[in-house]
Amino acid sequence: MQIIAHGGVGGTREQDGCVEEALEKGSKGTETPLEAVVGVVRELEDDPIFNAGTGSRIRLDGTIQMDAAVMTPEDIGSIAAVERVRNPILVALEVYHSPYVFLAGADVTRFARKLGYEDYDPSTEKREKELAEMKNKLKGDDKELDDLRNFYRKVGFGDTVGCVAAEDGNYAAAVSTGGTDYCIRGRVGDSPVPGAGFFVGEHGAVVTTGKGEEIIKRMTAIRCHDMIPEYGIKEACRIGVENLPEDTTLGIIAVGEEGPWADSSREMPQAKKL
């Protein structure tokens, strides 16, 4: 099985070891690409160094809302704004196996509780300190909304996680994120949006990471997937990254007949298994 995982564009290559460890542990003993990507992302969610699951970023109101998704050519399971669960990717997998495709907000949290997912606080001391710093920077200005826009444009958008896998022409993708800095409650980025943050089709599996608003506008994942037959996987990823505005952070991982590949506008911790 061929697998590639990332730890978020804007992260550091020093985190490669953490991604590699999660890849090895999460994919061990798995029999299908779907099992592998879910296992890897679950491990990444449990590592507080990343912005997914434990260690998710805290929104300006002090809450944590997380997004996650899984996809194969057969089906999709996506969730947005789930709260107080340990592993959002497992809840997304439950949606994948349900009659539904996409659940959001308080209802997805209730869905998780009904299935036995216990209450869990994913916050960490590091994220609490980051929240205090953000609030301090926004304090004392009558034009707070303008300040928020300015700060939001400069956010690094790092540390979210994703994984794609392939075996014998079967593909799967999984993504998970805790959102971004300077983020209001209810904001949803690209990660749970099919075609934007992830896509799986006949040519392979693609996952993106970066500035979600720009990725959604361009539906980066499906565009990259659709370019693979004409340009090859390496060039499709490169074009996908270059298609966004110059100041936009973006990373792409993909796998197809040519194997796994990654491209990014900034450093992006990653690991492969061939």
User: What does pTM read for this prediction?
Assistant: 0.93
- The tally of domains found in the chain comes to 1
Confidence (pLDDT) at 135: 79
Q: What CATH number is given to the structural domain containing 243? A: 3.60.20.30
Q: Report the catalytic residues.
A: 160
Name the strand (E) or helix (H) holding 164: strand 161-167
Range of the domain at 137: 2-273
Predicted pLDDT at 145: 55
SS in 3 state form for the chain?
A: CEEEEECCCCCCHHHHHHHHHHHHHHHCCCCCHHHHHHHHHHHHHCCCCCCCCCCCCCCCCCCCCEEEEEECCCCEEEEEEECCCCCHHHHHHHHHCCCCCEEECHHHHHHHHHCCCCCCCCCCHHHHHHHHHHHHHHCCCCCHHHHHHHHHHCCCCCCCEEEEEEECCEEEEEEEECCCCCCCCCCCCCCCCECCCEEEECCEEEEEEECHHHHHHHCHHHHHHHHHHHHCHHHHHHHHHHCCCCCCCEEEEEEECCEEEEEECCCCCEEEEC
Instruction: Report the pLDDT value the prediction gives residue 141, as an integer from 0 to 100.
Output: 54
pLDDT given for residue 177 in this prediction: 97
pLDDT in tens, the chain (274 residues): 999 999 999 877 778 999 999 999 999 999 999 999 999 999 999 999 999 999 999 998 999 999 999 999 999 999 999 999 999 999 999 999 999 999 999 999 999 999 999 999 999 999 999 888 887 777 755 455 565 666 555 555 556 899 999 999 999 999 999 988 888 899 999 999 999 999 999 999 999 999 899 999 999 999 999 999 999 999 999 999 998 887 788 999 999 999 999 999 989 999 999 9
